[in-house]
Amino acid sequence: MSHPLFRKKSIGRILHDAGLKGEGQQMKRSLTVVDLTALGIAAVIGAGIFSTIGTAASQGGPAVSLLFLFTAVACAFSALCYAQFASVIPISGSAYTYAYASFGELIAWIIGWDLIMEYAIGNIAVAISWSDYFTGLMGGLGIHIPEYLTTDYLTAARGYQSAMKEMIAGTSLTALPDSIHACYQAWIQAPTIMGVRIIADIPAFSIVVFISVLVYIGIYETKVASNTMVLIKIGILLLIIVAGSFYVNPDNWHPFAPNGISGVLKGVSAVFFAYIGFDAISTTAEECRNPGRDLPRAIILALVITTVLYIAISLVLTGMSPYTTLGVGDPLSYVFQRLNLPWISGIISASAVIAMASVLLVFQVGQPRIWMSMSRDGLLPPSFSKIHHRFRTPWFSTIIAGILVAIPSLFMNLTEVTDLTSIGTLFAFILVSGGVLVLQKDLDKNKEPVQHKRFQVPYFNSRLFLPVIWLGVLILICYLYRTEIGTFLSADAGSVRLSTLFSGSSEPTSLVSLMIHQIPMMVFIAGAITLTAVAMINKLSLIPVLGLLTNFYLMAQLGVTNWMRFLIWLAVGLVIYFGYSRRHSRI
């Protein structure tokens, strides 16, 4: 008998508890494969393509297009695993429910808590970013919104202090950088109540409230809004690709990887952030007309379409302007401004507002449905699983999700949560990839029946393919790092530190610094060796194993600081689990 912390729910019980075998509270089933694919595209194409792609391109050069491809492949392995789970367990809990069926309750709680980083906390950053684009768009139309209503208190306070230091040093107010000048104006113009300056990001708050109301009303209204925004987004991106291709200068693609492989890999977090969202489709399983058939198709279609668009955009972007100029907040708009095409730049700014609104929409749909599934299992209070009698939506969870995102977006500056959101999502991908291996073993062992024809990840024997793949990886590493390896093995090796081989930097670092900052990579290497051995011995399915390896590698690239934040977040979740959830579990 398994330990109570790792007690699993059978597929039959999961379906029964969701009301799929009786006349329980049912959600409205209105989503088709087209609607689901649109939701996936709506979630994926957002802040990543309109902002973080510039940062990644400025670090990795034109070769960032290959990073989009590599990241898409890594996501594809996980996408296939999500597709199998969504087909076998068509329930709204997404990775949380999948983990419950494969790893047990404790791991399910951890992933449920972890997904808050992807959905709720990630949406705070999206809301703040949306506010910046919206304010800029309004300014371009001649509508000025006071600075103290478009920024957060802490940013304004810090900007004011920086402005005062600059002006004391002799810099004039008009010579201050635009960002600092805006913060200064926000601080001095803000009204005060009892000595406290009233500074808040009203547009960010407003868009979250609007989206939350739309999600509360119903899934049909949500899908109509999502489909409309997706059509607009794809049309704008195609305009950028077609119009931009006429201004591509092939000389800008040379050198293709100016900062080497290490420069390209610096953009991992930004590029992966651009792919977050395709998994959100699985949270709508109970509102699909045919989840077993349509969910797998939609997940794969959304990933393929966005990957093609991303690679095309990255090549056009780096071809239109030197990569060194792309480290700006709005790179797509910037390159057209640089070419004196303000009308296209204006269209892009407007489309960015729509794109980020659609991301908010999908994640505000996803978060309540995960909480709904957790509540059904007793891990959250019963209110979280209540379905509105008229709108057939999880109304209480939707309200709480709205509050959790809207209130912090008023006062907080969370522009640094990109890495935290990425590491949380990668962790979910790892568990889903591993969960497929465990679930398949349990299904074969227990002969548990599945009620409908299901999608299954294609089987390839790891014992046959993994050695070949690892050999190719080693050859690639030797080629990419041939200079560093040659120097390390030469007579002058004493002057070269081992960190050169890890970081790709020519600057030596101390052994202590190396040990600290390379802990994630060391953990990955140890884990990869162990997983490879287990996969080969047991002839495990290759695709889930590659999903584990690639996503674990991407996690290792995010740095030790992000790992520490991630572990602290999980520790807080464990306190809640042992304080409430474990005692109220229905298993």
Mean pLDDT of 86-92: 81
pLDDT at 578: 94
Q: How many CA atoms lie within 13 A of 245 on its CB side?
A: 7
Centroid of chain to Cα 330? 19
pLDDT over 70 at 375, yes or no: yes
Tens-place pLDDT, residues 208-226: 999 999 889 877 777 788 7
pLDDT over 90 at 328, yes or no: no
Among 15-24, 99-108, 372-381, name the one with the lowest average pLDDT.
15-24
Report the run of H or E that residue 197 belongs to, with start and end.
strand 196-197
Among 160-164, 269-273, 323-327, 537-541, name the one with the lowest average pLDDT.
269-273
Range 239-242, long-range pairs (CB < 8 A, 24+ positions): 239/344, 239/347, 240/313, 240/316, 240/332, 240/344, 240/348, 241/309, 241/312, 241/313, 241/316
Tens-place pLDDT, residues 241-259: 998 999 999 999 988 888 8
Mean pLDDT of 540-561: 88
Average per-residue pLDDT in the chain?
82
CA angle 311, 302, 361 (to 5 degrees): 110
Q: Can you say whether the dihedral through the CA atoms of 355, 358, 364, 367 is positive or negative? A: negative
Looking at residue 79, its amino acid is A
Looking at residue 389, its amino acid is H
Q: How many C-beta neighbours within 10 Å does residue 133 have?
A: 26
What gap in Å lies between CA 72 and CA 302, rounded to an integer?
11
pLDDT over 90 at 574, yes or no: yes
Give the number of residues written for the chain. 587
Among 271-280, 305-314, 447-456, name the one with the lowest average pLDDT.
447-456
Tell me if 407 sits within 8 A of 400, measured CB to CB.
no
pLDDT over 50 at 454, yes or no: yes
The neighbouring-strand residues paired with 90 are: none
| Nearby residues of 13 by Cβ (< 8 Å), 6 or more positions away | none
**Considering just the CA atoms, what is the radius of gyration of the chain in Å?**
25
Tens-place pLDDT, residues 551-568: 898 888 777 888 888 899
pLDDT over 60 at 488, yes or no: no
Tell me if 587 sits within 8 A of 389, measured CB to CB.
no
pLDDT at 493: 44
pLDDT at 463: 94
Confidence of residue 191 (pLDDT cuts 50, 70, 90): very high
The neighbouring-strand residues paired with 288 are: 31
Ordered by start, the domain boundaries in the chain are 4-141+204-446, 153-199, 462-584
pLDDT over 90 at 203, yes or no: yes
Tell me if 548 sits within 8 A of 433, measured CB to CB.
yes
What gap in Å lies between CA 580 and CA 587, rounded to an integer?
14
What gap in Å lies between CA 29 and CA 392, rounded to an integer?
10
Gap between the terminal Cα atoms of the chain: 14
Q: How many C-beta neighbours within 10 Å does residue 221 have?
A: 15
The neighbouring-strand residues paired with 192 are: 197
Confidence of residue 129 (pLDDT cuts 50, 70, 90): confident
Mean pLDDT of 359-366: 85
Confidence of residue 95 (pLDDT cuts 50, 70, 90): confident
Mean pLDDT of 261-276: 72
How far apart, in Å, are the Cα atoms of 402 and each of 380, 407, 460, 577?
Answer: 17, 8, 43, 23
Confidence of residue 343 (pLDDT cuts 50, 70, 90): confident
What gap in Å lies between CA 351 and CA 481, rounded to an integer?
41
| Nearby residues of 330 by Cβ (< 8 Å), 6 or more positions away | 50, 51, 54, 133, 136, 348, 349, 352
What gap in Å lies between CA 477 and CA 496, rounded to an integer?
18
- Judged by DSSP in three states, 109 sits in helix
pLDDT at 416: 56
> What's the pTM value of the predicted model, to 2 decimals?
0.79
pLDDT at 516: 62
pLDDT at 47: 65
pLDDT: which is higher, 91 or 499? 91
Tell me if 432 sits within 8 A of 81, measured CB to CB.
yes
What gap in Å lies between CA 332 and CA 266, rounded to an integer?
20
pLDDT at 571: 93
- Judged by DSSP in three states, 193 sits in strand
What gap in Å lies between CA 399 and CA 29, rounded to an integer?
21
Report the run of H or E that residue 247 belongs to, with start and end.
none
Burial of 175 (0-12, 13-18, 19+ CB in 10 A): exposed
How far apart, in Å, are the Cα atoms of 14 and each of 231, 443, 585?
Answer: 36, 14, 14
3-state secondary structure 382-444: HHHHCCCCCCCCCHHHHHHHHHHHHHHHHHCCCCCHHHHHHHHHHHHHHHHHHHHHHHHHHHH
Dihedral pair phi/psi, residue 193, rounded to 5°:
-130, 115
Instruction: Return the DSSP state at 117.
Output: I
pLDDT at 527: 92
pLDDT at 504: 44
CA angle 449, 451, 456 (to 5 degrees): 80
pLDDT over 60 at 497, yes or no: no
pLDDT at 270: 67
pLDDT over 70 at 13, yes or no: yes
pLDDT over 90 at 402, yes or no: yes
Confidence of residue 373 (pLDDT cuts 50, 70, 90): confident
Looking at residue 275, its amino acid is Y
Tens-place pLDDT, residues 501-512: 444 444 444 555
The neighbouring-strand residues paired with 193 are: 196
Fold of 4-141+204-446: Amino acid/polyamine transporter I (1.20.1740)
pLDDT over 90 at 544, yes or no: yes
pLDDT over 50 at 23, yes or no: no
Q: Where are the alpha helices (DSSP H) in 141-218?
A: 153-168, 178-189, 202-217
- For the chain, percent of residues with pLDDT exceeding 90: 22
Tens-place pLDDT, residues 403-446: 999 998 888 765 555 667 778 888 888 999 999 998 877 666 66
Mean pLDDT of 364-390: 88
Looking at residue 527, its amino acid is G
Confidence of residue 110 (pLDDT cuts 50, 70, 90): very high
